[in-house]
Amino acid sequence: METIKSVRSRVWNWTGPTVPPNRNFCTNASDVLREKGDAMASFRFHQWLTCEVETDKGTVGIGNAALAPSVVKKAIDDWYAGLVIGEDPFDCAYLWDKMYRMTHAWGRKGIGMVAISAIDIALWDLMGKIAGKPVFKLLGGRSKDRIPVYYSKLYAGPPADMQREAEQALAMGHTAFKMRFGFGPRDGMAGMRENLKRVEAVREVIGFENDLMLEAYMGWNLDYTRRMLPKLEKFEPRWLEEPVLADDIEGYAGLNRGPIPISGGEHEFSLLGCAQLLRAGAVSVLQYDTNRVGGITAANKINAVAEAFQVPVIPHAGQMHNYHLTMAGTNCPLAEYFPVHDVEVGNELFYYIFEGDPEAENGSLQLDDNIPGLGISITDRHIKHFEIIE
């Protein structure tokens, strides 16, 4: 038996070159604020957290998180690390409950759950490495030959630029595409027209035989969404993602009764949080993010519940922890895929920290049956562009 000897958390601050995104590349929750300063700051992030859990035999499991890394690091170092050190990584379900219940007074959602997620993902990587099996084989095994993915970028910009990007993605073999809205309630009818113009422009390129997903990243409100939905119907979106604030579960449920499926969940936490969404009928597609929702242990339980509700799970973000769950889940039809790209919004940063993430080919990607664990390692290929805080 191997026991956990240490938990090492590191914050990776990207200091290298970045591509400046368009000013209105996506609506977001802070759009309603009077003084917004940098309007896109709450969407953009150039930091990541790695969490390496090492056993007494020297095996290292790698977890990670992307939300508020410096605060999550403090939570791991001061609270959570001590709860798993000395324990058997194969007791991961017990360790999850231990971390969750012993910090319940202040943990539960947000930073606490992100810290649990990072450690839990590392535990699964560890278990896979010790067992000599890829993580998806520990989760039920291969449910599909390859994982179909959807191309997730198409930030709002000039329609011609979005069309060019869609053409390129189409030429790469993608068959599903997610685009972002740049305009919300403060932009009035004129903004609505701009939004619709862009949906039409992308549809024109990808046709109606491919999937189109629409993303508002909580930058709309109920009134605006109710007015937009009928106008969007003719474009046959596969879903409209996060139209309103993540906490407005009743709002989601109301919208989701309409003809356009509503998706969400990337800002929800834990089994009970996701169960609430499912019971309320708030989403037609559940999109938890494994490195926020409570790691692979929580995600695996949520997958079972969502399957019972017949709500497909398509986790937020690319990344290996999501891919392994998707490979093992019969109720996980598709994975989000951020194309490999120069550092721009931050979504793509994991390609610069880790090695081993698969690249999509012709609209799908593959996991290796013979690589134990998650199949990623931390690379020093871009290390000169990071300031690392131990």
Q: Which is nearer to Mg ion, 241 or 268 (CB)?
A: 241
Do residues 293 and 266 touch, judged by C-beta distance below 8 A? no
Shortest distance in whole angstroms from residue 85 CB to Mg ion: 35
* Type of residue numbered 258: G
Q: Which is nearer to Mg ion, 81 or 317 (CB)?
A: 317
Q: How many Cβ atoms from other residues are within 10 Å of residue 88's Cβ?
A: 16
Q: Which is nearer to Mg ion, 211 or 241 (CB)?
A: 241
Do residues 126 and 52 touch, judged by C-beta distance below 8 A? no
Active site residue 324: no
- Provide CB contacts within 8 A for 365, sequence distance 6+: 146, 147, 149, 323, 335, 337, 358, 359
Q: Which is nearer to Mg ion, 120 or 241 (CB)?
A: 241
User: How far from 385 is each of 9, 205, 382, CA to CA, in Å?
Assistant: 19, 36, 6
- Per DSSP (E only), the strands in the chain are 4-14, 47-55, 60-65, 147-152, 176-180, 211-215, 239-241, 262-264, 285-286, 335-337, 354-355, 364-365, 377-378, 386-389
Q: Which is nearer to Mg ion, 89 or 251 (CB)?
A: 251
Q: Which is nearer to Mg ion, 25 or 96 (CB)?
A: 25
Site string for Mg ion, 186-225 (x = CB under 5 A): ----------------------------------------
Tally the C-alpha atoms within 13 A of residue 136's C-alpha that lie toward its C-beta: 26
Q: CA–CA separation, 100 vs 103, rounded Å?
A: 6
Q: How many Cβ atoms from other residues are within 10 Å of residue 343's Cβ?
A: 18
Q: Which is nearer to Mg ion, 53 or 216 (CB)?
A: 216
> How do beta strands 364-365 and 354-355 pair?
unpaired
Shortest distance in whole angstroms from residue 263 CB to Mg ion: 8
Shortest distance in whole angstroms from residue 321 CB to Mg ion: 17
Looking at residues 224 to 253 of the shown chain, list those that interact with Mg ion (rule: CB under 5 A).
241
H or E segment and range at residue 274: helix 270-280
Shortest distance in whole angstroms from residue 338 CB to Mg ion: 11
Shortest distance in whole angstroms from residue 269 CB to Mg ion: 15
Instruction: With CA atoms as reference, report the closest residue to 348 among 203, 151, 90.
Output: 151
Shortest distance in whole angstroms from residue 154 CB to Mg ion: 12
- Of these residues, 267, 316, 321, 324, which one is catalytic? 316
Residue burial 238-266, b: 16+ Cβ < 10 Å; e: rest: bbbbbbbbbebbebbbbbbeeebbbbbbb
Shortest distance in whole angstroms from residue 232 CB to Mg ion: 17
Do residues 238 and 176 touch, judged by C-beta distance below 8 A? yes
Q: Which is nearer to Mg ion, 31 or 241 (CB)?
A: 241
Looking at residues 293 to 352 of the shown chain, list those that interact with Mg ion (rule: CB under 5 A).
none
The tokens describing 312, both together, are: 């497909």
User: How many chain residues touch Mg ion (CB under 5 A)?
Assistant: 1
Shortest distance in whole angstroms from residue 215 CB to Mg ion: 5
Q: Which residues are catalytic?
A: 316
Residues in touch with Mg ion (CB under 5 A): 241
